[in-house]
Structure 1
Amino acid sequence: MKYVIIGGDAAGMSAAMEIYRNVPGAEITTLERGFIYSYGQCGLPYVVDGRISSTKRLIARDVETFRDKYGIDARVGYEVEHVDIEKKVITGTQASGDHFEITYDKLLIATGASPVMPVKKGIELEGIHTVKTIPQLEDLLADLTPDIEQVTIIGGGYIGLEMAETIHACGKKVRLIQRGSHVARILDEELAQHVHEEAKKNDVELLLNTSVEAFEGNKRVEHVITDNGVLETDLVIVASGIKPNTQFLKDTGMAFAKNGAIIVNRHLETSIENIYAAGDCATHFNIVKERLDYIPLGTTANKQGRLAGLNMSGKFAPFRGIVGTSILKFFNLTIATTGINERDAKELGFDYEAFKLSARHIAGYYPGAQRMFIKVIVRKRDQLLLGAQIVGPAGVDKRIDVFATALYSKMTLPDLLDLDLAYAPPFNGVWDPLQQVARMNGRL
């Protein structure tokens, strides 16, 4: 059995290792268009200000380890351009310019996603960066010279906010442009106001309801043209979203979601026999929405990759789905969400209720107690949990994980009161903040 995997990062190599463990003597070939395998993309922003000393520390296993220790034919510089589903042949071009052709019995697409450029005009100018790969980050670091004073970040999502913090820590002026009315779109607007306040405290200039139209400059970017005026800048970081790397599959007849993500079933199988997909190029079943979704995160990529490898090995290993849990750090704030927010609930037509609470993350009388802000969404008729958003300087990660577990288990708001959660004054109040939300409802 010949296994071929396109993509050498989280999903792809998680699958490769499961095949290695479960199919003795399997012939495994992995194709990576870049030259680095298995690295932590989520750690890239923290190399900027030195919290992580080097991009090398982000690499979990190098190419030589996969080749020498596990016997995987791990290739680099291989750009796949076409998949012939009838002949089961992959073709493309190597970095050297040479053409290649590889046959397969079972194929995994784990090609990830690439940053989206909001405009076309001026993107060829020097000084415009995206941050998705180690080479891209190293290009940015080389460009962050002492004479760079003003950095403009386009996009207020995960990467945009994390980069705003670390670029600010390097002593640069930071401006963040957001097309919508608030940053951190994983939050509803009222909770996002705490993020706006944190940006202001740290001298990050926020330009909301502003769209970028072009970049201008003489060889190097000097101006960002927006619908609200012209902005001077020394460097631009674009973090306005990503799109699945699936264009090379368009003529296969494979089923895709509207955004280009590959539609997969619970066993990570595509609509074409013997072809699987996992990670940021594939859809994810959302347990709360009860439908396919696209929430590209490293955790999901690793899980889907692992299960794809097991299924390709002949095991029965369904992917049970996600609840959409994510978390990020922005200066002294932790921002976290799981399930759906109120905006999602309205769009999906849920008959819902929303509960808000401000609570201390530990016993209020204990030194260091800090306030967090919580919003919980439930289904009105039976109080089934639908989602939570939490913002605060401490204790957020603990609560979002508890709530995510409750979501996965399809618990109700009253059920939270029965949870046996750890309590001691340095760690919690006698009623956890999530349980305090449940107690808010007068019917409980």
Structure 2
Amino acid sequence: MKYVIIGGDAAGMSAAMEIYRHDESADITTLESGHNYSYGQCGLPYVIDGRVGSTEEVISRTPQVFRDKYNIDARTKHTVTHIDTARQIVYGEMTDTREAFSVQYDRLLIATGANARRQKIDGRLLKGIRSLKTIPDAESIIGEVKNVKHVTLIGGGYISLELVEALTLLGKKVRIILRSGQVASFLDFELAKKIHEEAYKHKVEIIFNEEIIRYVGEEWVQAVQTSKDRYATDFVIEAIGVKPNTDFLQDSGIELADNGAIRVDPHMATTIKYVYAAGDCAMHFNRMKQQADYIPLGTTANKQGRIAGLNMAGINETFAGIVGTSILKFFDVTIGKTGLNEKEVKSLHFDYDLVIKEVTNISSYYPGGEDMLVKLIWKKDSKRLLGMQIIGGAGVDKRIDVGAVALFHRMTLRDMLDLDLSYAPPFNSVWDPLQKIVKQQL
């Protein structure tokens, strides 16, 4: 069986390894447009500030390891430009030389990920304007930011907040410019304002409710012009989200969602026979919304890649879906979310209740306790948990993961009260903070 995988990172290589394990006669070719395989994109902000020593440290396996150890034809600098799904041929060109190539397949996986969105405004081609998605992006930022004093971040999501911290630790003055009235749009405002306070504590400037009009400068960017003002800066990083890397599929017959992501079934199969898709280029079934969604995260890419690889190798497995779990470090606070926020609950027309409570992560008498602001949302009639948001110090990760499990299994507040959670004074109180909150609602 001839397997071809487009994309050499999380989803693609998770699939390749499952095929390798389950089909002894597999002929596997992977096509990657860059020169890096299997690396942790989420670690790149920490390479920029030096907490992670180099980009090499975020690489899990090199192409040579896949070739030598797993007999996978791991190709680099191969950019796919077209797929003929009728003849089952992938066409492309060498990234550097533009030399054409083609590869026949019996089973095909599209795992091309997503590209950073860029502003389509005047001045966007000036030097000193970057985005962060790949290892070359990180290396460019590291080299260029050394000699600047002030950096402006466009956007307030995960990558932006991680870069704000990284650049502040490097001694840069940092500004965030937002179209909206808060950072972290995945949170409700009560939680987001705690992030604003943390930013101000570290001398980070935040500009709310202003549209970027143009970048100003000669060769190098010197200012950002918004709908209200002009802001001088030495460097700009755009962090305004990502777009599925699927433009090359427009004439393939493969069905795409409105945002360009590939529609897949629970087996990760596309609408074309023998073609699968996984990761940031594909849609993700959301268990909370009971519909296809797009929440591109590395954890999901690895899970979808595994399911795709198994099905390609003839093993029937289905993707169980996501509940929308994420976590983020921002200076001295941890920000976690799982399930639906209040905006999402309203859009789905659920009849709901909620509580917002400040709690301590460990026993009150044990030294070193840290506060957490918790928001729980549940269905009013059944009291089934719908969502959880937490911001605070130590212990946020533990509770968000408890919430994620509760959401995955459609647990009610009463069910959560019965959970047998670990307890010792340095780690928890005899009633976990979540259970204390839940008990008050019953």
Determine if the TM-score, normalized by the shorter chain, exceeds 0.5.
yes
SS of structure 1 residue aligned to 2:137: helix
Which amino acid in structure 2 is aligned with residue 41 of structure 1? Q
**CA-CA distance at 1:256 after TM superposition:** 1.3
- 2:5, 2:253 → 1: CA distance? 19
For residues 194 and 431 of structure 2, the distance between their equivalents in structure 1, rounded to whole angstroms, comes to 24
- The alpha carbon displacement at 1:440 in A equals 2.0
1:39 equivalent in structure 2: 39
What is the CA distance between 1:118 and its match in structure 2? 2.7
Aligned position for 2:288: 288
Q: Secondary structure at the match of 1:215?
A: strand
C-alpha offsets along residues 328-372 of structure 1, whole Å, 9 cap, x if unaligned?
A: 000001000000000100111111111111100111121111110
- Give the Cα–Cα distance (whole angstroms) in 2 for the partners of residues 436 and 271 of structure 1: 47
Judge conservation of contact 1:377–1:388 (CA < 8 Å) in 2: yes
Q: Partner letter of residue 430 of structure 1?
A: V
Report the residue type matching 1:106 in the other structure.
R
Alignment partner of 1:114 is 2:132:
no
Per-residue deviation, residues 372-417 of structure 1 (Å, max 9, x unmatched):
0000110111001111000001110000000100111110011111
Q: Which residue of 2 aligns with 1:367?
A: 367
Distance 1:387 1:256 in 2: 29
SS of equivalent residue, structure 1 residue 276? strand
What's the offset of the Cα at 1:250?
Answer: 0.9
Q: Is the 8 A contact 1:116 1:242 kept in 2?
A: yes
1:439 to partner: Cα distance: 1.5
**CA distance in 1 between partners of 2:214 and 2:205 (Å):** 20
1:158 aligns with 158
Corresponding residue for residue 269 of structure 1: 269
Q: Secondary structure at the match of 2:270?
A: coil
1:102 aligns with: 103
Provide the rounded CA distance (Å) in 1 between the counterparts of 2:119 and 2:141. 19
Distance in 2 (alpha carbons) for counterparts of 1:38 and 1:72: 13
Per-residue Cα deviation, 1:267-286 (whole angstroms, up to 9, x for no partner): 00001100000000001111
State how far apart, in whole Å, the 1-side matches of 2:19 and 2:313 are: 6
1:431 deviates by: 1.3
- Rounded to whole Å, the distance in 2 between the matches of 1:132 and 1:268 is 24
Structure 1 stretches of 4+ moved >4 Å: none
**Secondary structure of residue in 1 paired with 2:126:** coil
SS state at 2:346 partner:
helix
The Cα RMSD (Å) is 0.8
Distance 2:47 2:211 in 1: 29
Where 1:224 maps in the other structure, the secondary structure is: strand
Counterpart of 2:305?
A: 305
The equivalent residue for 1:177 is 177
Gaps of 5+ in 1: none
2:240 match: 240
Residue aligned with 1:68, SS: helix
How many Å separate the matches in 2 of 1:253 and 1:99? 22
The one-letter amino acid of 1:428's match is N
Partner of 1:69, secondary structure, is: helix
Q: Is the 8 A contact 1:119 1:213 kept in 2?
A: no
2:136 corresponding residue in structure 1: 135
SS at match of 2:53: coil
Q: Offset at 1:258?
A: 1.2
Q: CA deviation at 1:120?
A: 2.8
The secondary structure found in structure 1 opposite 2:5 is: strand
Aligned to 2:406: 406
Q: What residue identity is the alignment partner of 1:91?
A: Y
Distance of 1:329 and 1:228 partners within structure 2: 31
Distance 1:258 1:379 in 2: 30
Specify every segment of 5 or more residues in structure 2 that has no aligned partner in the other structure, as ranges. none
1:326, distance to aligned residue in structure 2 (A): 0.2
Query: Superposition pairs for residues 37-436 of structure 1, below 5 Å?
Result: 37-95=37-95, 96-146=97-147, 148-436=148-436
Q: Is the 8 A contact 1:119 1:212 kept in 2?
A: no
User: What is the TM-score normalised by the length of structure 2?
Assistant: 0.99
Bigger CA drift: 168-177 or 207-216?
207-216
Residue 139 of structure 1 and its aligned partner are, at CA, apart by 0.5
Q: Does residue 1:18 correspond to 2:18, yes or no? A: yes
SS of the aligned residue for 2:310 comes to helix
Q: What is the distance in 1 between the residues matched to 2:119 and 2:369?
A: 42
8 Å CA contact retained: 1:361, 1:429:
yes
Distance 1:179 1:395 in 2: 32
* Cα distance between partner residues in 1 of 2:435 and 2:244: 39
C-alpha separation in 1, matches of 2:354 and 2:227: 35
Q: Is the 8 A contact 1:82 1:91 kept in 2?
A: yes
Q: Which moved more, 1:424-433 or 1:164-173?
A: 424-433
Distance 2:100 2:182 in 1: 47
- 1:293 to partner: Cα distance: 0.6
TM-score normalised by structure 1 residue count: 0.98
Cα displacement string for residues 10-38 of structure 1 (whole angstroms, at most 9, x for unaligned residues): 00000001101111121100000001100
Aligned residues between the structures: 441
